[in-house]
């Protein structure tokens, strides 16, 4: 366990359950926003098709151009798809009554990412909401090793670059759980898709998918939300929101305080929450990219 000098320790429950009750008592109309997003499935399907076509277009590129487009294009689209999977994990594509359809659709959204992700994300993301910041429970919180070792600007830069690796491995160390049937199906479906792409177009599209995912989740403008969401820049606040233009490309992931208050409201409707509760949105931040820089130089 890290010392109190490494992390900010609090001994109260995460605040969002109480906030939700208070807000609903004052604004009961918020319940009308807790409905599926009818456009989400079409947006995600278009993105998956776009990446499928991209796999064809990159098959004859040189390796240099392949890396370029994997970062510039693949990184943006694949990172955005991980955020679509985040939204879908809350059953906002087909609703709570069709939970299984949401699980299957998340696997479909997972295809361009190149590695199985959606089923494991769902399993651990529930804990992130239920035990926000909980030691040994919330696997989004960096480990003691990460906090102690990545403590200089150079090492923090390396941590940002390797963030996808820690995101994948941290749950196995912090809070390992048995592999579920849905995770096995997710892996089989993903492997089948990857083999199909390799069979028809070769290795470079596979590299494009995997490199796009790794680069897009690492040192990339979109990945600033990982830091901005819960890094304690302002003492006393452990969740922050961002209201800038990158929300248009990231399913409004910046509306993060609103999301934790109302996880069953689709990302597309979170600005309506902000419009109603603007005076109580006490912790907002400026720019995702800025927080990469701020993290590097914080003591």
Residue whose entry in the numeric block shows the structure tokens 């902000």: 274
Alpha-carbon distance of 36 to 196, in angstroms, equals: 32
Residue 8, in any domain of the structure: no
Number of domains in the chain: 1
In terms of average pLDDT, the best of 162-166, 189-193, 242-246, 272-276 is 189-193
Across residues 267-274, what is the average pLDDT? 92
Across residues 91-118, what is the average pLDDT? 97
Residue 5, in any domain of the structure: no
Q: Burial of 268 by CB count in 10 Å (0-12 exposed, 13-18 middle, 19+ buried)?
A: middle
Across residues 78-99, what is the average pLDDT? 97
pTM tops 0.75:
yes
Instruction: Lowest mean pLDDT of 105-114, 118-127, 236-245, 268-277, name the range.
Output: 236-245
Is residue 183 within 8 A of residue 122, CB to CB? The reply is no
Residue 33, in any domain of the structure: yes
Alpha-carbon distance of 228 to 291, in angstroms, equals: 6
Alpha-carbon distance of 145 to 148, in angstroms, equals: 5
Is residue 281 within 8 A of residue 270, CB to CB? The reply is no
Sequence-distant (6+) residues with CB within 8 A of 36 are 91, 92, 93, 94, 95, 266
CA-to-CA separations, 287 to 206, 245, 284, in angstroms, rounded: 32, 9, 10
pLDDT digit string (tens) for 31-70? Answer: 999 999 999 999 999 999 999 999 999 999 999 999 999 9
Using DSSP, state whether 242 is helix, strand or coil: strand
Q: Burial of 101 by CB count in 10 Å (0-12 exposed, 13-18 middle, 19+ buried)?
A: middle
Residue by residue, DSSP assigns 87-117 as HHTTTTTT-GGGHHHHHHHHHHHHGGGSS--
Domain hosting 255: range is 16-297
Across residues 213-236, what is the average pLDDT? 80
Alpha-carbon distance of 22 to 16, in angstroms, equals: 10
Sequence-distant (6+) residues with CB within 8 A of 295 are 156, 160, 227, 231
DSSP 241: E
Residue 213, in any domain of the structure: yes
Length of the chain equals: 299
Look at residue 83 and tell me whether its pLDDT is greater than 80.
Answer: yes
Q: How many CB atoms lie within 10 A of CB 89?
A: 22
Residue 286 pLDDT level (bands cut at 50, 70, 90): low
Q: Which residues, listed in sequence order, are joined to residue 241 by a DSSP beta bridge?
A: 284
pLDDT of residue 1: 34
Q: Burial of 287 by CB count in 10 Å (0-12 exposed, 13-18 middle, 19+ buried)?
A: middle
Alpha-carbon distance of 20 to 263, in angstroms, equals: 10
Across residues 10-14, what is the average pLDDT? 61
DSSP 70: I
Residue 4, in any domain of the structure: no
Higher pLDDT, 271 or 7: 271
Look at residue 5 and tell me whether its pLDDT is greater than 60.
Answer: no
Q: For residue 120, what are its two tokens? A: 């494991």
Residue 208, in any domain of the structure: yes
pLDDT of residue 136: 82
Residue 10, in any domain of the structure: no
Residue 79, in any domain of the structure: yes
Is residue 107 within 8 A of residue 189, CB to CB? The reply is yes
Alpha-carbon distance of 181 to 279, in angstroms, equals: 44
């Amino acid at each position: 366990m890290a010392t109190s000098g490494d992390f900010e320790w609090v001994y109260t429950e995460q605040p969002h359950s109480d906030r939700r009750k208070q807000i609903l008592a004052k604004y009961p109309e918020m319940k009308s926003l807790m409905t599926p997003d009818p456009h989400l499935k079409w947006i995600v399907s278009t993105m998956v098709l776009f990446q499928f076509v991209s796999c064809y277009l990159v098959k004859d590129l040189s390796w240099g151009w392949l890396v370029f487009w994997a970062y510039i294009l693949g990184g943006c689209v694949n990172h955005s798809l991980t955020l679509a999977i985040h939204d879908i994990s809350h059953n906002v594509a087909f609703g709570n009554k069709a939970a299984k359809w949401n699980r299957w659709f998340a696997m479909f959204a997972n295809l361009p990412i190149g590695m199985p992700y959606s089923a494991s994300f769902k399993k651990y993301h529930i804990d992130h909401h239920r035990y926000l910041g909980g030691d040994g429970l919330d696997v989004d919180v960096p480990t003691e090793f990460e906090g102690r070792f990545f403590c200089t600007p150079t090492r923090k830069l390396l941590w940002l670059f390797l963030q996808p690796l820690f995101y994948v491995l941290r749950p196995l160390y912090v809070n390992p759980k048995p592999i579920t049937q849905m995770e096995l199906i997710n892996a089989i479906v993903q492997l089948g898709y990857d083999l199909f792409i390799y069979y028809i177009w070769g290795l470079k599209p596979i590299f494009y998918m995997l490199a796009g995912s790794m680069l897009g989740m690492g040192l990339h403008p979109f990945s600033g939300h990982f830091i901005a969401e819960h890094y304690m820049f302002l003492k006393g606040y452990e969740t922050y929101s961002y209201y800038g233009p990158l929300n248009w490309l990231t399913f409004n992931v910046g509306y993060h305080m609103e999301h934790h208050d109302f996880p069953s409201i689709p990302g597309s409707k979170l600005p309506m929450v902000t419009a109603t509760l603007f005076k109580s949105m006490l912790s907002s931040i400026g720019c995702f990219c800025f927080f990469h820089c701020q993290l590097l130089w914080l003591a």
